[in-house]
Amino acid sequence: MGAHGAFVKGAKSHPSTAVVLGVPVDDVTVEEAVDIVDELIEASRASGTVHQVATVNADFVVNALLDPSLLEILQRTSLAIPDGMPLVWGSRMFGTPLRQRTTGVDLLPAIIERAAQRGHRVVLFGAAPGIAARAADELSERYPGAEVQGIEAGTVSADGEIADSVLGELIAAAPDVVGVALGNPKQERWILRNATTVGPGVYIGIGGTLDFLTGVTSRAPTWMQERGLEWLHRAGSEPSRLAMRYARDIRMFCPAVLRQAWEGRRIGAAIAPVVETSEGDTTVRLLGPLPFARPEPTVTVALGVGRPVVIDASALRRFDNVTMSAIAGLVRAGRRAGVPVRAVGCSSDAVGEVAATYAALLASGAPVVPRA
């Protein structure tokens, strides 16, 4: 686990988190993400809940800047992988560095390989006609024993509505994992609208992953991927569809990242929080900016035994990027563990302009009680 921005140390399900323009992005490798998905599947089976996973890139973040309802969906995910080098670069500027880019194209096959070992059922849903079934066949052949099924999406409305017959087919499949290939933001809205109806499991927005896996769309050369230039390759391959989108993303993403880096900069020395444990809950009292490394064994124990956690931020006068990332990581750890985590004492003055989105992030974990 990375050292920054996390209260919880030593648990696979509690990675560090960077907050990029209000969108939480978890610091995970492919292997770590697969481990977390495994844990979420077991939690879903045990509790009958659903978990949403996002493969976040700069376009997701820009779409969320323009649409508060999409921002809220991304803030409520159980896991968000950094599927784009601009997120990695931005996180380094914030002092909450993500170690690497982790792509959906790499994640999905790894999940299916693990599914073959664990007996998990996987459904690939969406993409162009015939692509989901083709991808399912190819991945089943690649990973013997994997239960992978492709299901056509048919017509999907902007808010995720689909035909009852398609919904019935998904329910009958009883999947543990659903890869939803409808593109952002439609796939995120589809998951929000339909996951509970389909049933417990892990729902992952995978965008154009199936096109890449079946060879319909070619990936950039490795050297371009390693240098964060895959977007340039894609724009050149599909200029009519992607060139304008990438131009918009660059125009909006870059200035906003610079603004967050400046407004969320560390001011003053870090101060360790006070952690108090009672029979009812564990309270984390923030006395000032959090240190760069913030492992808290007491909070780990609280999450492990299902004890609610309260983050008391009433003493803070502002949130810097490191402190907010630490809080975001704790909120998300609670969501994965099914443990209530709530923040109290958060004032609009403390979050500042860069993070009017920060206040929404806290609210996404549990109610935020404003300071009187």
The DSSP-derived string for 270-303 is --PPEEEE-SS-EEEE--SSPPSB---HHHHHHH
List every span in the chain annotated with CATH 3.30.750.24. Answer: 274-369
Q: Is the pLDDT of residue 92 over 90?
A: yes
Residue-level pLDDT at 355: 46
- Reported as a pLDDT band with limits 50, 70 and 90, residue 264 is confident
Q: Is the pLDDT of residue 240 over 80?
A: no
Residue-level pLDDT at 6: 39
Least confident of 5-19, 187-201, 280-294: 5-19
Parallel, antiparallel or unpaired: strands 147-151 and 121-126: parallel
Least confident of 204-218, 224-238, 247-261, 263-277: 224-238
How many helices (DSSP H) and strands (DSSP E) are in the chain? 16, 13
Buried b (16+ CB within 10 A) or exposed e, 340-371: bbbbbbbbeebbbebbebbbbbbbbbbebeee
Q: Rounded CA gap, 153 and 174, in Å?
A: 16
274-369: CATH number:
3.30.750.24
Which tens digits make up the pLDDT trace of 315-365? 887 778 888 888 888 888 888 888 888 877 766 555 444 444 454 555 444
SS3 content of the chain, % helix, strand, coil (to 5): 50, 15, 35
Least confident of 190-199, 299-308, 348-357: 348-357
Residue-level pLDDT at 165: 95
- Reported as a pLDDT band with limits 50, 70 and 90, residue 44 is very high
- Reported as a pLDDT band with limits 50, 70 and 90, residue 156 is very high
Global pTM exceeds 0.75: yes
Distances (CA, A) of 207 to 57, 183, 200, 303: 11, 4, 21, 32
